[in-house]
Amino acid sequence: MALDLGPSKAKLARAREHAETLKAETVEGVKQEASHAVRFSPIDPQTGWCEIAMVPQMIDKPRLSVLLGDVIHNLRCALDYLIPPLVEASGAKLSTAHEFPVHLDPGDYAAKVGSKTVAKGKGPLRHIVHGLSVVEAWQPYNTKGDAEADPLWGVHRFSNADKHRQLAPFGLVPVGRFGISYNGIVVEEEFLDEVEDWKPDDEIPIGRIRFDPPRAYNLRAVGRVNVDVRFIAPRFGKEAQLSLKLANVPVVVESVAAVVDSFRDL
The arrangement of strands across the sheet holding 49-56 comes to 36-40, 49-56, 204-211, 186-191
DSSP string across 54-96: EEEPP---HHHHHHHHHHHHHHHHHHHTTHHHHHHHTT----T
Omega of the bond prior to 213 within 30 degrees of 0, cis? yes
Q: How much is the mean pLDDT over the chain?
A: 91
Residue 183: C-alpha distances to residues 73, 145, 180, 210, 218 (Å) = 53, 44, 10, 13, 6
Q: What is the pLDDT of residues 26-73, one digit of tens each?
A: 887 676 556 677 889 999 999 999 999 887 776 788 999 999 999 999
Reply yes or no on whether the pLDDT at 169 is more than 70: yes
What confidence score (pLDDT) does residue 125 get? 97
Which residue from 246, 250, 244 is spatially nearest to 12, judged by alpha carbons? Answer: 250
Alpha helix (H) residue ranges in 121-186: 132-137, 151-164
Distance CA 191, CA 204 (A): 12
Q: What is the pLDDT of residues 178-199, one digit of tens each?
A: 788 889 999 999 988 777 767 7
The Cα angle at residue 248 between residues 244 and 158, in degrees rounded to 5: 35
What confidence score (pLDDT) does residue 101 get? 98
Q: What is the pTM of this model?
A: 0.86
Looking at the chain, the whole-number percentage of residues with pLDDT higher than 70 is 97
CB contact at 8 A, 87 and 125: no
Looking at the chain, the whole-number percentage of residues with pLDDT higher than 90 is 69
Q: Output phi, psi for 78, to 5 deg.
A: -60, -35
Of residues 155 and 1, more confidently modeled: 155
Q: Domain residue spans in the chain? A: 6-261
Q: What is the pLDDT of residues 90-148, one digit of tens each?
A: 999 999 999 999 999 999 999 999 999 999 999 999 999 999 999 999 999 999 889 99
Residue 237: C-alpha distances to residues 161, 217, 234, 241 (Å) = 12, 45, 10, 10
The Cα angle at residue 206 between residues 151 and 39, in degrees rounded to 5: 135
Alpha helix (H) residue ranges in the chain: 6-26, 62-80, 83-89, 106-112, 132-137, 151-164, 249-261
Residue 125: Cβ-neighbour burial (10 angstroms; 0-12, 13-18, 19+): buried
Q: Mean pLDDT across the stretch 230-259? A: 93
What confidence score (pLDDT) does residue 35 get? 65
